[in-house]
Amino acid sequence: MQLYNKLSAKEREALLEEAGEDRLTLSFYAYAKIGNPELFRNHLFIAWDQMDVLGRIYVAHEGINAQLSVPAKRFNEFKAFIDNIYFLKDVRLNIAIEHDIKSFLKLKVKVRNKIVADGLNDNTFDVTNKGVHVDAAKFNELISDPNTVLVDMRNHYESEIGHFQGAITPDVDTFRDSLPIIEEDLKEHKEDKNLVMYCTGGIRCEKASAYYKHRGFKNVYQLEGGIIEYTRQVQNQNLENKFIGKNFVFDHRRAERISDDVIAQCHQCGKPCDTHVNCANEACHLLFIQCEECAEKMNNCCSDNCKEIAALPYEEQKKLRKGKGASNKIFKKGRSEVLLFKQ
């Protein structure tokens, strides 16, 4: 019985190109009490592997967080399968605005301590006691109210390329960093302001809204379905779009364009640009913003040193990496000292 992916990304990419079939990129999450995450994980992998589902899925005692690529022709089969899981029946599926048959190249289902790492050791709050979910129309109404504080619950490299007008965008590297910072900054407004939050698909806001209610905030709201669902409702209902720039996504597409505004800059030359790339030196793999001109000049690398390494024969690069762990520069997401123009 196969319980793990056996194909490399390159092998899978070739198969997808050869098949040439439409695929849907989607995401969903659910907070629920899962008694045996490992058993549940295996159940999901076996079923989804047979359906040719690809993606990155985290399972924990507190629920599931999934980003997936599903063959379009098997979507109904996929939907019927998850509807047979009691806490996933009719779960909201955030269908991507833009699709790519190679948004995911492997099926990875992993058991984690939590589906959203929060750094909290507080077990006294109920993650299901969430804030009020609002749709796009109500969200636009709320954020136009001067009595509202709008907070982006994403990380700096996400909000750097796109965010809602007037939002507080914490300069943080992780979700866990944002929770105490936001609470401290807004502690004087626990009762007199509307705390409205948003994120990519809703999962971070859901946990944050429950936490802030636990910490004494009285009027807590979250954008249901996050930026992804907001964009769909804006388009379908002809509402005013108050999101500027791109929505960062955690797959090979890296972002979906929501408006024509380019609010970020190339981290190497400073010109307007909002295209995230990974450094071509596999020993670095730093995520940063790079324009086409700098990509050509630097051979898709973040620095001259990485450019020199990436130009070496592949076997020599492997020798240089041998015995070395992944550099934590990977996770600096544009904060590396080698980048001249960075947030």
Catalytic residues: 199
Pairing of strands 148-152, 94-95: unpaired
- C-alpha–C-alpha distance, residues 38 and 200, integer Å: 27
E-state strands within 75-181: 94-95, 107-111, 132-134, 148-152, 162-164
Cα–Cα distance list, 342 to 110, 153, 156, 248, 334 (Å): 33, 20, 11, 17, 6
User: By C-alpha distance, which of 50, 219, 271 is closest to 42?
Assistant: 50
Q: What is the crossing angle of helices 203-214 and 175-185, to 10°?
A: 40
Q: How many helices (H) and strands (E) does the chain have?
A: 11, 14
Tokens representing residue 173 in the block? 């590297």
DSSP 137: H
- C-alpha–C-alpha distance, residues 62 and 232, integer Å: 28
Tokens representing residue 58 in the block? 């985290």
**171 contacts: CB under 8 Å, gap ≥ 6:** 156, 343
